[in-house]
């Protein structure tokens, strides 16, 4: 009984305590007269964002910034409730793939007219692809912030052993190298292509001249796209790329190079260096092999102003601060995330690192996935379609025809 009484007493105390907390949080604009800005930072980046905010507040003592971290995995839910109640942050970090959906719902403020006031935010400061990702329906709904793009990682020593003293430069070379690498023996593969990566096939298709979506019409049953699917399917069917290996890159890229090539983003540079130290000097990165072109897929995040905020000007000013090259570099130092600002890439930290230089080169030729609000849905549908092709050997043309119709329906909604 004693424990129960203690618990009851504690609960009562807690109740009282939290009610007080509830009251005080209402009046927590303690520093009266200051403009209060709320910023949503994604994932583990709230600490660095707080440091940026502190630096900003030093320059602008009349502003008080509150940073709230949102876990990536639940950011969508959190954003939904913000839209539903029209209560949210003033500034928010948006993944590029979510931009169209939330812009269409009016959750992102139209910044087109405001941009002229901030020279830091002029479009030509940023990589073209990143600027594209901030456009929706002819309006600018965000400012480029972080950029990443896919490049080719390869083991120089292993490729040399099959006669390649350079990274494969074309689709044909990539296929040929993969074939030779696979022929090294049992449990050896050419290249790691993640069939569950939603951008993979679309990225290759663009290199083959597919427009994916043109004037609101899905182009997935066209020859350029079908040819790409066939090309990629070949890697899986011939065993050049593993399907169900179930291993992490850090487990397959080291040693004698079970999978000596893969396509991934810049975060893998650090992962490979940290987790497979024994292959130092035996691996490199390269821009993607080309067909008609070698355009890569662009990801990252933008900074947007929440559509229902009343502090647009103050929010823009803070965004302009974050977009300065020196601050973008500072951010990179803290988080390892790469700047979207071109000027920042001239800094020796980036231009002096051969792997980063490759990423910088590729960023000049990278585009985000099509900016339609159903894109997430379309690309997930494609993964299922593609699985039936590479795993269950379904007829490619028939499947793509179905997929095209399904996508068109989503586009027309």
Tell me whether residue 168 or residue 265 sits nearer to other proteins (CB atom).
Answer: 265
Using CB under 8 A, pick the residue from 34, 35, 36, 43 that binds other proteins: 43
Rg (CA), the chain: 24
Residue bearing tokens 């390869």: 154
Please report how close the Cβ of residue 93 comes to other proteins at its closest, in angstroms.
10
Tell me whether residue 249 or residue 341 sits nearer to other proteins (CB atom).
Answer: 249
Using CB under 8 A, pick the residue from 65, 90, 96, 102 that binds other proteins: 102
Rounded Cα gap, residues 38 and 52, in angstroms: 13
Using CB under 8 A, pick the residue from 35, 219, 275, 290 that binds other proteins: 275
Q: How is residue 156 written in tokens?
A: 């120089």
Between CA 41 and CA 51, with CA 46 as vertex, the angle to 5 degrees is 115
**Is residue 166 near other proteins by the rule CB under 8 A?**
no
170 close to 182: Cβ distance less than 8 angstroms: no
Total residues at interface with other proteins (CB under 8 A)? 71
**Is residue 104 near other proteins by the rule CB under 8 A?**
yes
Please report how close the Cβ of residue 265 comes to other proteins at its closest, in angstroms.
6
Rounded Cα gap, residues 107 and 330, in angstroms: 29
Tell me whether residue 114 or residue 148 sits nearer to other proteins (CB atom).
Answer: 148
HSE of 35 in the Cβ direction (CA atoms, 13 Å)? 19
**Is residue 170 near other proteins by the rule CB under 8 A?**
no
Please report how close the Cβ of residue 318 comes to other proteins at its closest, in angstroms.
18
**Is residue 80 near other proteins by the rule CB under 8 A?**
yes
C-alpha dihedral sign at 155, 331, 148, 361: negative
Rounded Cα gap, residues 89 and 305, in angstroms: 8
**Is residue 106 near other proteins by the rule CB under 8 A?**
yes
Tell me whether residue 36 or residue 343 sits nearer to other proteins (CB atom).
Answer: 36
Using CB under 8 A, pick the residue from 326, 333, 384, 397 that binds other proteins: 384
Q: How is residue 135 written in tokens?
A: 């456009």
Using CB under 8 A, pick the residue from 39, 42, 121, 131 that binds other proteins: 42
Using CB under 8 A, pick the residue from 95, 234, 239, 325 that binds other proteins: 95
Q: How far is CA 276 from CA 182, 185, 245, 280, 387, in A?
A: 22, 23, 19, 8, 31
Using CB under 8 A, pick the residue from 247, 273, 313, 398 that binds other proteins: 247
Using CB under 8 A, pick the residue from 35, 56, 60, 83 that binds other proteins: 83
**Is residue 6 near other proteins by the rule CB under 8 A?**
no
**Is residue 14 near other proteins by the rule CB under 8 A?**
yes
Using CB under 8 A, pick the residue from 37, 39, 63, 70 that binds other proteins: 70
Tell me whether residue 99 or residue 174 sits nearer to other proteins (CB atom).
Answer: 99
Using CB under 8 A, pick the residue from 71, 122, 313, 393 that binds other proteins: 71
Region near other proteins per CB under 8 A, out of 53-61, 267-275, 312-320, 343-351: 267-275
Question: CA torsion 374→380→381→382, rounded to 10°?
Answer: 110
Please report how close the Cβ of residue 14 comes to other proteins at its closest, in angstroms.
4
**Is residue 66 near other proteins by the rule CB under 8 A?**
yes
- Residues with Cβ within 8 Å of 344's Cβ and at least 6 positions away in sequence, in order, are 325, 326, 328, 329, 332, 350
Using CB under 8 A, pick the residue from 166, 217, 333, 391 that binds other proteins: 391
Between CA 340 and CA 265, with CA 334 as vertex, the angle to 5 degrees is 50
153 close to 362: Cβ distance less than 8 angstroms: no
C-alpha dihedral sign at 372, 376, 379, 382: negative
Using CB under 8 A, pick the residue from 62, 112, 117, 267 that binds other proteins: 267
Closest CA to 320 of 129, 119, 124: 119
Using CB under 8 A, pick the residue from 39, 91, 99, 107 that binds other proteins: 107
Rounded Cα gap, residues 79 and 57, in angstroms: 26
Using CB under 8 A, pick the residue from 295, 374, 396, 400 that binds other proteins: 374
**Is residue 44 near other proteins by the rule CB under 8 A?**
yes
Rounded Cα gap, residues 279 and 203, in angstroms: 29
**Is residue 273 near other proteins by the rule CB under 8 A?**
no
Region near other proteins per CB under 8 A, out of 20-28, 126-134, 341-349, 361-369: 20-28
Rounded Cα gap, residues 339 and 346, in angstroms: 11
């Amino acid at each position: 009984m004693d424990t129960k009484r203690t618990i009851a007493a504690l609960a009562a105390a807690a109740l009282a305590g939290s009610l007080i907390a509830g009251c005080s949080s209402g009046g927590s604009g303690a520093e009266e007269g200051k403009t209060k800005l709320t910023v949503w930072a994604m994932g583990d980046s709230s600490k660095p964002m707080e440091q940026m905010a502190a630096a900003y507040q030093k320059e602008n003592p009349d502003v008080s910034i509150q940073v709230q971290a949102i876990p990536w995995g639940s950011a969508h839910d959190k954003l939904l409730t913000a839209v539903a109640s029209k209560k949210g942050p003033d500034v928010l970090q948006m993944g590029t793939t979510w931009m169209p959906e939330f812009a269409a719902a009016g959750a992102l403020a139209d910044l087109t007219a405001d941009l002229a006031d901030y020279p830091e935010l002029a479009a030509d400061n940023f990589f073209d692809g990143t600027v594209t990702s901030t456009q929706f329906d002819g309006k600018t709904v965000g400012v480029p912030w972080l950029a990443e793009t896919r490049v080719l990682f390869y083991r120089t020593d292993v490729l040399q052993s099959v006669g390649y003293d350079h990274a494969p430069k074309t689709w044909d070379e990539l296929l040929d190298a993969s074939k030779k690498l696979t022929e090294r023996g049992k449990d050896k593969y050419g290249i790691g292509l993640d069939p569950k990566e939603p951008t993979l096939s679309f990225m290759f298709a663009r290199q083959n001249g597919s427009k994916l979506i043109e004037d609101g019409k899905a182009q997935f049953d066209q020859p350029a796209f079908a040819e790409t699917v066939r090309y990629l399917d070949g890697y899986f069917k011939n065993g050049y790329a593993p399907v169900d290996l179930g291993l992490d890159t850090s487990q397959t890229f080291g040693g004698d190079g079970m999978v000596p090539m893969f396509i991934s983003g810049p975060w893998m540079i650090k992962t490979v260096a940290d987790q497979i130290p024994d292959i130092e000097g035996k691996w490199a990165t390269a821009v993607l092999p080309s067909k008609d072109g070698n355009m890569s897929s662009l990801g990252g995040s933008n900074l947007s102003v929440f559509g229902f905020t009343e502090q647009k000007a103050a929010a823009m000013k803070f965004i302009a601060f974050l977009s300065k090259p020196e601050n973008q570099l500072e951010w990179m130092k803290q988080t390892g995330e790469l700047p979207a600002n071109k000027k920042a890439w001239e800094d020796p930290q980036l231009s002096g690192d051969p792997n980063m230089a490759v990423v910088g080169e590729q960023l000049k030729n990278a585009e985000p996935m099509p900016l339609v609000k159903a894109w997430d849905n379309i690309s997930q549908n494609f993964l299922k379609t593609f699985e039936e092709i590479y795993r269950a050997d379904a007829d490619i043309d028939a499947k793509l025809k179905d997929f095209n119709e399904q996508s068109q329906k989503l586009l027309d909604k």
